[in-house]
């Protein structure tokens, strides 16, 4: 379970990086070049989108990397990353895989108490 959490966390973090690059770039482009009515309008909370673009992938990859050695901390980071991405971006066609991968990785990391290693987190 820890290996699955590691894999899902890292893959979810890479997908989240792609979403983060485009969302941060979109907010920057609209700030720089202005809005185009009906085509490119600025989001409601630019700070939230930019923060999620940086912290979401960072927490997901760090949580996935920690899931093997420290499943509790890794699972918490993965679930926080999934929650942050859901709160900032919502659930849509571009965010469904990062949110699902990091969320499932977090649940698997938290559920991996004893089976994989002799030292359990609870």
pLDDT at 12 over 90: yes
Q: Is residue 116 a part of any domain in this protein?
A: no
Arithmetic mean of pLDDT, 30-52: 90
Which residues span the domain enclosing 98?
A: 2-111
Number of domains in the chain: 1
Q: Dump strand ranges (E) for 12-55.
A: none
What pLDDT, on a 0 to 100 scale, did the predictor assign at position 59?
97
What pLDDT, on a 0 to 100 scale, did the predictor assign at position 107?
96
Q: Is residue 105 a part of any domain in this protein?
A: yes
Number of H-type helices and E-type strands within the chain: 4, 0
Q: What sign for the dihedral angle of Cα 68, 89, 34, 36?
A: positive
Q: Is residue 61 a part of any domain in this protein?
A: yes
Residue 40, beta-bridge partner list: 36
Cα 46 to Cα 51: distance, rounded to the nearest angstrom: 9
Cα 10 to Cα 28: distance, rounded to the nearest angstrom: 26
Q: Is residue 117 a part of any domain in this protein?
A: no
CB 38 within 8 A of CB 84: no
Could you read off the pLDDT of 100-114 as tens digits, one per residue? 999 999 999 999 866
What pLDDT, on a 0 to 100 scale, did the predictor assign at position 116?
53
CB 103 within 8 A of CB 78: yes
């Amino acid at each position: 379970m820890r290996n699955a959490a590691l894999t899902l966390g890292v893959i979810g973090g890479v997908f989240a990086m792609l979403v983060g690059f485009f969302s941060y770039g979109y907010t920057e482009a609209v700030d720089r070049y202005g809005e185009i009515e009906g085509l490119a309008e600025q989001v409601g909370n630019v700070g939230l989108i930019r923060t999620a673009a940086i912290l979401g992938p960072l927490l997901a990859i760090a949580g996935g990397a920690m899931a093997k050695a420290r499943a509790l901390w890794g699972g918490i980071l993965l679930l926080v990353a999934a929650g942050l991405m859901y709160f900032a971006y919502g659930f849509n066609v571009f965010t469904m895989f990062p949110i699902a991968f990091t969320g499932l990785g977090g649940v698997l990391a938290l559920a991996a108490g004893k089976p994989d290693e002799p030292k359990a987190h609870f």
